Each structure stands twice: as structure tokens, then as C-alpha cells.
Structure 1
Amino acid sequence: MKRRKFLKNSGLTAAGALSAPILSSYSNEMEESNKDVKKAAVRPITVCTWNFKNATAKSWEVLQAGGSSLDAVEQGVRVEEADVTNETVGKGGRPDRDGNVTLDACIMDKDGNCGSVVYLQNIAHPVSVARKVMEETPHIILAGRGAEKFAYEQGFKKEDLLTESTRKQYEEWKKTSKYETTINIENHDTIGMLAIDKNGDIAGACTTSGMAYKVAGRVGDSPIIGAGLFVDNEVGGATATGVGEEVIRTVGSFLIVELMRQGMSPQKACEEGVKRIMKKNKDRKDFQIGFLAINKQGETGGYCVHPGFTYRQYTEAGHENVPVNSFYQKN
């Protein structure tokens, strides 16, 4: 018994001694091979929710000139805030049930600094006010009249945010005062933007006028750091669009970035983000959510509840509108 045991152990020892250098050599070869096939990081790059090509074009212009990702996302979403034909963001946004246009926005830089404004009135560029909150105060969120007062102190001008078009739509809505969420490709009440500059630094911004004819005072996910937007410069960033209440319940953008930290691709992380929401809303179909994510390598991904959500992407390879898959497929 002792001899057999000795021979068995000797055999294992010899096998181990033989296999160790072989395995080590194999491991080194694989490591070298992986270095060869590993994709080069895509930078600069800018992406945004929905097909807002003018926004990504402006963001790309900043990046191409050597600007920071923070400047790129701010300037990019400002394009939509200023576009009165976009009735879901900034000036010309549809009002709440009381007839007031109230805007929400946030911004986040590579160092985790962030700023946000909620329920802001009479200011056309809430994203820039949010940046001022981040850079000029010890706070992260300013709301309502306080945010508006702060904006004036920072040199922003008071503007009437209702246009003739949105005013007429509001008067028509008041005839029935029906409150419902519309689910279709036009339900893009938010622009969320993420960018990586030539230095590999990530920033993000998100801005919206929120749901049309919402209850006065309602705030969705868009200005909430971790819900509508989150950036971690070591990992990547994520942003959301759609019915904000559902994104807030899962802290959606933070969740997606953490999933990427654990090794998921941006695409898989967005899919998991939507699936987490749908687990809490089994068989429910009366709302839309869209997630967009980017990782440190410049890989992107998106996923949504219903078909129709897309994201716009601009890199050296070109400027394209990217359709995404959905939890509920087309009939």
C-alpha cells in the first residue's frame, strides 16, 4: 500500500513538474495572442440617445478640435435645447399641466464631479446651469426658484420657453386634460449624450423638458445622477430615455456601468438593465425605456422595451444612426 501510494504520488509530482512549464508557456502565448487581437480603443467618440444628428455633429466638432469630453457633451445637447422644433427638450418643450415649461438637466465629468437642475423655468439651457452648479457651488442639485435665481446670478437670461406651436398644443390638450404616456418612436423626451475625448476621458450630459402635461413639480430620471446618467472614467458611462420613474426604481444608469465593471459589454449591460425593469413590470407594455452605454474602449450598446429607439454615433469611421433591439419585438 505504501509503495503504491508512493508511486501514485511520484507520478502526480512528475506530471505536475512537466505540465507547469507547458501551462506557463501556453498561458504566455495566449496573453501575447490576446494583445495582438485586442481592439484599439476608439477615441474620440460621441454618442447620444435618438437620432439627434445635429447634436452629435456639434459634439464631434468639439472633440475634433481637441476639446474635452465635458465641453463636447455640453455643447452637443445645447443644440437640442436651442431647437424650438424639438418639443421635448429646452426652449419649445411642451409644458406641464399648469402651462409652464419646466426643464431638468445634469452633467458629469471624468472625475465624478456632477451638477444638476430640476424644475427650472425661464432658462433655455439647463445643462449649462447644471455645469455651473457643478463648478461654482459645493452642491450637486438645485431646484425650482432657487435654480432659476442661481442661473440669473450666473448671467443667464430670462426667456419665454413656450412657442406658438406648444402653446396651441397645450390649449388643445386642456379640452380633455387626458394624461397618458405615448409609446412610439416619437416618445423621445430626452437627449442623453456620452463622449470620450482624445485623452480617453469620459463625460456625459442629459437634458429634457420631461413628460408633456405632467403634474406640476414632477421630476423624472434625467437630472438624477445614477438614474438618467452615470459616468465612471475607469469603466464607462450610461444614459437613459423614456419613462423616468421606472429608470429611477432600478438606478438604471449606475446599474449598467457597474455591470460593465463586472465584465459585461455595453450591449449586454443595457439588455440586463431593461430586463431588470421588466422583471418588476411583468406583462406591462404601456411604457418605453431606452438605455445607451459606452465603455472605456469606446464600444457602445443600446437596448429598449419597445422597437423604435435608436442612438446616434460619431467616430473617425463615420456618423451613423444605430437601431437597437428591444424586449418586445415587432409583430
Structure 2
Amino acid sequence: NGMLDALDACIMDHQFNCGSVAALERIKHPISVARRIMEKTPHVMLVGEGAQQFAVAQGFPLEPNKLSPDAEKAYREWLKTSEYKPVPNIENTGNKKVGPVGGPQNHDTIAMLTFDATGNLSGSCTTSGMGFKMRGRLGDSPIIGAGLFVDNEVGAAAATGQGEDVIRMAGAHTVVELMRQGLSPTAACRAAVERVAKIKGVSAKDIQVCFIAVNNQGQHGAFALQKGFSYAVCNAANQKQLLTCDYLLK
């Protein structure tokens, strides 16, 4: 309907404290609002107009309620067909026709997991969701247990990709529970991806789902449904690596 994308985010610490915001409009940093919900309220999730009111009360400025010229142009072009059919990992294809930052239909989720010097885990997950999505649509990113889950005794996990399919199998929570059963972070992520593929059947080839995980020993891993997913790792010495993870559909 030509309105600005609503934003979603969640955050969780090592003591099961968590905060989440969904369908947040005109606020630039939803993850910061999610943290305020965690720290300043007795609630876990605020949504829509109430979330915006809370954010403003906490001092977050309202952004202009209008599309940028590039976004307006992309929206008008999309209206010609009104078709939503994202291409998995389009940001890695080198296709320059899809618009800025990977194309208007393909803004990935940003998920982060931390293992600190005291051995405590935490995580966050934030997204703008699908481009041209139906107003009110939510994916997995703001849902504790789907887009993100942290259990300090076991590990932490987060997801990116087609949110509906992550929600269906409680993705991040599933990965953590698989680590509880003794699987490594990579093996747990793979088992969760295999479950997504089993649920989707032949249509699995049309989507992308990826999981990242870290266990309570600081070991990390990831696994994807399709080729093309990479994740970054940074240690206490600020040494950084960009790693390409293995994938299921070959």
C-alpha cells in the first residue's frame, strides 16, 4: 500500500531476560527499542502503535513518514505486477539490476550472538522483513524461540531467511535444544535446516533459511538451506573472519 516498512527486532540475555518489538513504524533503531522493553518494562513484546508510543516516550525520534525517491520508484515499478518472488541470496549474484543493497525485495535479517569474557551468552535479531510485504506481516525475527533463543547452560542460536518457515519449526529454539542433546553448533544448525527442508518438500528449492549458533564453550557454527550464506566472526582481539557455511541443497 506504499507505506514505509515496519521494523521488527528482539534481544535476549544470559538470564532469560528478553525484549521484542514488532510492526514498529517510523523508528530507526528497533533493536534499541527492544532493549528498552527488556530493561524498562515487565513485558517481553510490544507491537504496532503501542510500540511506537513507548519508543517516543523513551526519547526515540519519529522519522518522516514518506518513502525516499529510490524506494518510491521501486514501489511504483513493483505495482506493475504486484508479484512477490524473492531470489535466495540475490545479494551474492552480482545482479546490478535489483536495486541498492541487494534489491528492494531482499533485505536480509541481521542476527548477532555474543559469548563474553565471563562465559555468558546473549543475542539480538533485527529486520525490515520482506520488501512489499502485506501490512501487519511478521516473520520470525521478533519472536523469541523462532528468530532468536539463548540458554546460557547450552548455547544461543539465531535465524535468517524465510521467516514463516523458521516460525513453523521454532527454529532458534530447535537449534539450542539440539545442542543440548550433544550436537555441535554446526551439526545442530544442519539438523534444523534438514527439518525445514522436510517440512517444505519440493518447494524448499524456492526459499533460503540459515541458522547461526554458538555453544557455552564459545564454539560457533552455521548451516544454510541454499548455497551463498556467509557469517562473520570477531574475537576478543578484534580479529575478524568472514566464513562461508555449508548448505543442504547441492
- Same fold flag (TM > 0.5): yes
**Partner of residue 94, structure 2:** none
Amino acid corresponding to residue 288 of structure 1 in structure 2: Q
Q: What is the alpha-carbon distance in structure 2 between the residues aligned to residue 263 and residue 192 of structure 1?
A: 23
Give the residue type in structure 1 aligned to 2:38: M
Q: Alpha carbon RMSD of aligned pairs, Å?
A: 1.3
Of 209, 213, 238, the match for 1:293: 213
Q: Distance in 2 between matches of 1:237 and 1:166?
A: 35
Does residue 140 of structure 1 match 2:44? Answer: yes
Look at both structures and tell me which one has the larger radius of gyration over its CA atoms. Answer: 1
Matches of 2:179 and 2:188, distance apart in 1: 6
Corresponding residue number in structure 1 for 2:34: 130
Q: Which residue of 2 aligns with 1:246?
A: 165
Cα displacement (A) at 1:122: 0.4
Does structure 2 retain, via aligned residues, the 8 Å contact 1:188–1:242? no
5 Å matches for 1:101-250? 101-160=5-64, 162-186=67-91, 187-250=106-169
Confirm or deny: 8 A CA contact 2:185 2:215 kept in the other structure.
yes
> Higher helix share goes to which structure?
1
Output the CA distance in 2 between the equivalents of 1:188 and 1:99: 17
After the TM superposition, which segments of 4 or more aligned residues of structure 1 sit over 6 Å from their partners?
A: none
Structure 1 SS opposite 2:53: helix
**Structure 1 vs Structure 2: percent identity of aligned residues?**
51
Shift of 1:317: 7.6
Which one-letter code corresponds to 2:21 in the other structure? V
Deviation at 1:185, TM superposition (A): 4.2
Kindly indicate whether the alpha-carbon contact (under 8 Å) linking 1:99 and 1:170 is maintained by their aligned counterparts in 2: no
With 157-166 and 261-270 compared, the bigger mean Cα shift is at 157-166
Matched-pair contact (CA < 8 Å) for 2:115–2:218: yes
Residue 99 of structure 1 is matched in structure 2 by 3
Are the counterparts in 2 of residues 188 and 241 from structure 1 also a CA contact under 8 Å?
no
Equivalent residue in structure 2 for 1:324, among 233, 242, 245: 245
8 A contact 1:241–1:290 mirrored in 2: yes
Aligned residues: 233
Distance 1:172 1:159 in 2: 24
Q: Which is bigger in relative contact order (C-alpha 8 A, separation at least 6)?
A: 1
| Secondary structure at 1:268 match in 2 | helix
Q: Which runs of 5+ in 2 are unaligned?
A: 92-105
Unmatched 5+ stretches in structure 1: 1-96
1:163, 1:303 → 2: CA distance? 35
**Displacement after TM superposition at 1:120 (Å):** 0.3
C-alpha displacement of 1:141: 0.7
- Residue deviations 1:204-223 (CA, integer Å, cap 9, x gap): 00000000001111000000
